[in-house]
Amino acid sequence: MKWSNWKYLIAYLAPLATLWGLFEQGHWSFAGIYVGFVMIPLLEIVSPQSAYNLTPAEEEQKGKMGVFDLLLYLNIPLLYAILHVYFQQVFAGTAQTYELVGMTCSVGLIVGTIGINVAHELGHRSKPVEQRMAKILLLSALYMHFFIEHNRGHHKHVSTDADPASARYGESLYAFWVRSVCGSWRNAWKLAAERLNKEGKSNWFSWQNEMLRFQVFQVGYLLSIGLIYAWWMVGYAVAVAVFGFLLLECVNYIEHYGLRRTVLPNGRPEPVQPWHSWNSDHELGRIFLYELTRHSDHHFKASRKYQVLRHFDQSPQLPFGYPTSIIIALFPPLWFLLMNPRVNKEQARQRPPESAINL
């Protein structure tokens, strides 16, 4: 098989490094962080970017290759194996404070990447079994509502003020965390209730309410941690979940920061276009996040599989890859200095509706 078919094995580097670090401990407790936020950002400085798009024939062939689906599916046992080892190591009570911090941050990184990010990919699939896999992965982050709000809310309202997951111009990452986390959870309840009403089921306090089921599953998950290990271990399960979903919100922040869709004369926003998402062609980051950084094409057709996502010349590009951009976003003055001029430039050349691309 070609290198392009095997390169996504690199995505396993962070979870495997995290698993190894859990056993080694010491300064290797931070192994996952070293990979995600030290090694990859440094390598992206010297590694090439690629705007290459598959030919239609290559896209059709790759879209049917089961190996790319298998790479996603294997993340489920890997994630829960990592969580099990983490809980065992913490429960043993022999780790020093800095080791606990390192293990928690590294495992939180994995919850956010192979937990939420892979769930994001599978959650857009049409097969019920793949959607169930997405929910199993989201369970570890206590963020199962993402399945509802992202698919039916974010993709509809992206790059408008109606979307809590689209960062506003001049909004700091920390203010965005609060607005997006709370707003997304609230919107998910609203969307779940709307679906019940459409189906003629007015009683939201029933097992047919998917949001209610998600809360039960998540409470059950935490109770199982307490019963299997110890009740004080629930705090660590929550800690890695919070780290994971805040990492997701960091990605949400940089993906649409400051970009807004033009409001048409009828009062509705224009259709979503390539210039409404920040992208990155830094190939290492693309592989690490299963091509999430080709975000414009994902919003064009959410069901398009990660291995066939395309580059658009019209898509605004971040100056750095996603991992480096997240680090910069942690320092709002630096982020604003870097990104606000780029946002102003993009918004100044806002394309008229007749320039919209239909694919």
φ/ψ region of 258 (left if φ > 0, alpha if ψ in -120 to 50, else beta) reads: left
∠ CA 143-145-151, nearest 5°, is 120
- Using CA atoms, how far residue 106 sits from 17, 35, 196, 250, 253, in Å, is 9, 9, 39, 16, 21
Residue 120 and residue 150 in contact, taking contact as beta carbons nearer than 8 Å: yes
> Which tokens in the block code for residue 159?
């790059």
Instruction: Give bridge partners of residue 269 from the DSSP assignment.
Output: 263
pTM: 0.94
Q: What is the pLDDT along the chain (359 residues), one digit of tens a residue?
A: 465 678 899 999 999 999 999 999 999 999 999 999 999 999 998 888 888 899 999 989 999 999 999 999 999 999 999 999 999 999 999 999 999 999 999 999 999 999 999 999 999 999 999 999 999 999 999 999 999 999 999 999 999 999 999 999 999 999 999 999 999 999 999 999 999 888 877 777 788 899 999 999 999 999 999 999 999 999 999 999 999 999 999 999 999 999 999 999 898 999 999 999 999 998 888 988 999 999 998 988 888 999 999 999 889 999 999 999 999 999 999 999 999 999 999 988 766 555 555 55
